[in-house]
Amino acid sequence: MRGSRRIGKEADDFRAEHGALELWPQVNQPREMKLERQRASENAGRRLRRVEIAATSALRMDFAGAKKGEGGKMQRAETLGAGRIEWTDAAPQSGTPGAAANSEAAHTKLQADKLEMEFGKEGKPRQLVATR
């Protein structure tokens, strides 16, 4: 199974061996998506170049209700088992104020027994919780 979602400059791509999608009634927009043995990635626009979530077993994503013709924003994503999240900052970062920026963008990788990501009103990541 493969899928994608595009809203403005942002793009989400999903690949999985098995998947299920529940829709909000009357607006035909995603409410909950479950992917098994999957990989999900997001090109997040300005601040982040790329976010990738890889779960060894399954990933569940919950979306806010949307008006007809509008894309629903992601509210929450969680691995239903061990998983990994990686992201790359869009702009190279300098460790010290006033110092020249490193030419490479920062790359971060986090692995845990369970990952939960909460998203803000605009659909941007707000809080990440990793449990062991």
**In which domain, by residue range, is 117 found?**
2-91+105-131
The string of DSSP letters for 59-103 reads EEEEE----TTSPPPEEEEEESSSEEEEEEESS---SSTTSPPPS
pTM exceeds 0.75: no
What is the number of domains present in the chain?
Answer: 1
Each of the 132 residues of the chain gets a pLDDT tens digit; together they read 888 877 777 777 778 888 898 998 888 888 998 888 776 666 555 455 566 777 667 889 898 887 776 667 788 988 888 888 887 776 655 555 655 555 677 888 889 999 998 988 877 788 999 998
Residue 103 exposed, middle or buried by CB count within 10 Å (0-12, 13-18, 19+)? exposed
CA–CA distance, 118 with 74 (Å, rounded to integer): 8
The answer as to whether 98 is a domain residue is no
User: What CATH number does residue 87 fall under?
Assistant: 2.60.450
Q: Are 59 and 85 in contact (CB under 8 A)?
A: no
Report yes or no on 99 lying in a domain: no
Residue 126 in domain: yes
